[in-house]
């Protein structure tokens, strides 16, 4: 019997497992496939070093600048070299395995090639997780179950805590890692907002590699074909300035949904259960940034779980502290505000976005607010929209 069974060893599950194990609890970390590369831009902001100081010694690709383009290709840039810590761009296959290994070193038991599909039920209580593995059905019993298996989590639905995502509640995105001679500035990530609800990105990686992707948001998921807009982006004449060659080597390509509603604060906990990471909506609704917030949710859930186990109270009432954890409250509040801004930004075929870029270009205080929203998921203050509305 484990103290905690965690389904999903992505960033959220691995952080949760690491903290619980470090505190002496017995943890089963269940993963469907450690060789799966999560479709992702791989941009990780400098907050990562707060959660994983040991990552500084790895030679990740460093980022010190962001360029944001509106649909009419108005650009503003922000360089933070020396002002704040560097961010990194990572290959998720390597990065996720690093975080998993940190959890294993802390004492968590990783069960790879295990696909969770249901709960073990006894006396109407969920007492563990059932998985399909190459050697057949496995059962992992635990006092607390943490659901960290991402957007397509079956357990999250079976738990009754949340319903299936609707198309208009998500973003869908496709990304690729490519290699070849390019003109992408090695220290700069670039986001390209569209006239519809969506955006593309170009993120540099080491040597001649780069991560390129596009996504659509909400109701525009139904109007636009992802493969089509990906190819269109790749061949856009303005994007061609960055990637002029015709035959880039495709190292990897994948597509995946991203939560688009912000934190699902009504679905975070139940009796002996918590939802973390993408499964619970920990993704910035405007930028799609979800790695650090998911890790933050894993840490908050672990701290709540430790308290609950020490007090021998794993009831819904006790795990409620997860929802009211200061970190979770801060992220949830920030995403609510950011989400309300999303509709406004994409109004009039992205004209408000264009306005935002223009003001940010000339006003350094406003620029900081925009950058904080995109890079650090800090919600803009109330006067932000007023300023946008008042500007001609």
Ligand X SMILES: Cc1cc2nc3c(=O)[nH]c(=O)nc-3n(C[C@H](O)[C@H](O)[C@H](O)COP(=O)(O)OP(=O)(O)OC[C@H]3O[C@@H](n4cnc5c(N)ncnc54)[C@H](O)[C@@H]3O)c2cc1C
What part of residues 227-266 is at the interface with ligand X (CB under 6 A)? 256, 258
**Shortest reach from residue 166's CB to ligand X, in Å:** 17
DSSP letters spanning 206-253:
STTEEEEEEEEETTHHHHS-HHHHHHHHHH-HHHHTTS--S--EEEEE
Residue of 148, 156, 273, 319 interacting with ligand X (CB under 6 A): 148
At 99, give phi and psi (nearest 5°): -65, -40
Residue of 91, 265, 278, 303 interacting with ligand X (CB under 6 A): 278
Please give the Cα distance from 330 to 334 (Å, whole number): 6
Residue of 291, 296, 345, 356 interacting with ligand X (CB under 6 A): 291
Residues in the chain: 392
What part of residues 68-127 is at the interface with ligand X (CB under 6 A)? 115-116
Residue of 1, 36, 245, 317 interacting with ligand X (CB under 6 A): 36
Stretch that binds ligand X, among 2-10, 66-74, 354-362, 367-375 (CB under 6 A): 2-10
Report helix, strand or coil for 121.
Answer: strand
Bridge-based pairing state of the strands 125-133 and 115-122? antiparallel
Q: Which is nearer to ligand X, 42 or 350 (CB)?
A: 42
**Shortest reach from residue 348's CB to ligand X, in Å:** 27
Residue of 9, 191, 332, 337 interacting with ligand X (CB under 6 A): 9
* H/E run at residue 189: strand 188-193
- Is 12 a binding residue for ligand X by CB under 6 A? The answer is yes
Residue 24: closest CA among 2, 50, 57, 51? 2
Residue of 4, 7, 202, 303 interacting with ligand X (CB under 6 A): 7
- Is 10 a binding residue for ligand X by CB under 6 A? The answer is yes
Please give the Cα distance from 171 to 258 (Å, whole number): 5
How many angstroms separate the most distant Cα atoms in the chain? Answer: 65
What's the first-to-final CA gap in the chain, in angstroms? Answer: 64
Residue of 2, 3, 5, 8 interacting with ligand X (CB under 6 A): 8
**Shortest reach from residue 382's CB to ligand X, in Å:** 26
Q: Which is nearer to ligand X, 270 or 288 (CB)?
A: 288
Look up tokens 């519809």; give the residue.
196
Report helix, strand or coil for 29.
Answer: strand
**Shortest reach from residue 250's CB to ligand X, in Å:** 15
- Is 350 a binding residue for ligand X by CB under 6 A? The answer is no
CA angle 122, 117, 136 (to 5 degrees): 90
Q: Which residues of the shown chain bind ligand X in the complex (CB under 6 A)?
A: 7-13, 30-33, 36, 38-44, 115-116, 148-150, 154, 173, 175, 213, 256, 258, 277-278, 283, 288-291, 294
């Amino acid at each position: 019997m484990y103290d905690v069974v965690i389904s999903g060893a992505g960033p959220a599950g691995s952080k949760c497992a690491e903290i619980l194990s470090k505190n002496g609890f017995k943890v089963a970390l269940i993963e469907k496939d450690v060789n799966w590369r999560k479709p992702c831009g791989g941009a990780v902001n400098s907050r990562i070093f707060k959660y994983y100081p040991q990552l500084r010694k790895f030679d990740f690709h460093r980022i010190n600048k962001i360029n944001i383009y509106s649909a009419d290709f108005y650009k503003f840039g922000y360089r933070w070299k020396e002002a704040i810590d560097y961010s990194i761009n990572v290959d998720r296959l390597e990065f996720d395995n690093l975080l998993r290994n940190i959890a294993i070193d802390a004492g968590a038991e990783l069960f790879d090639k295990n696909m969770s599909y249901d709960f073990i039920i006894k006396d109407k209580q969920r007492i563990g997780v059932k998985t399909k593995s190459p050697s057949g059905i496995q059962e992992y019993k635990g006092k607390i179950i943490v659901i960290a298996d991402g957007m397509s989590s079956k357990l999250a639905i079976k738990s009754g805590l949340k319903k299936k995502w609707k198309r208009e509640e998500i973003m869908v995105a496709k990304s690729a890692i490519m290699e070849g001679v390019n003109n992408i500035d090695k220290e700069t990530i670039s986001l390209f907002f569209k006239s519809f609800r969506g955006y593309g990105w170009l993120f540099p990686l080491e040597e001649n590699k780069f991560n390129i992707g596009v996504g659509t948001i909400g109701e525009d998921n139904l109007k636009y074909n992802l493969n089509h807009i990906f190819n269109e982006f790749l061949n856009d004449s303005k994007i061609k300035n960055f990637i002029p060659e015709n035959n880039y080597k495709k190292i990897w390509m994948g597509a995946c949904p991203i939560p688009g509603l912000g934190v699902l604060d009504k679905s975070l906990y139940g009796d002996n259960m918590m939802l973390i990471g993408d499964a619970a909506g920990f993704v910035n609704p405007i930028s799609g940034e979800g790695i650090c917030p998911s890790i933050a949710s894993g840490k908050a859930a672990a701290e709540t779980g430790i308290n609950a186990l020490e007090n021998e109270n794993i009831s819904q009432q006790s795990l409620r502290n997860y929802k009211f954890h200061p970190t979770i409250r801060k992220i949830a509040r920030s995403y609510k505000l950011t989400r309300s801004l999303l509709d406004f930004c994409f109004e009039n075929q992205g004209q408000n976005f264009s306005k935002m870029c223009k003001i940010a270009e000339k006003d350094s205080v406003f620029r900081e607010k925009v950058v904080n929203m995109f890079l650090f998921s800090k919600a803009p203050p109330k006067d932000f929209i007023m300023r946008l509305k008042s500007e001609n």
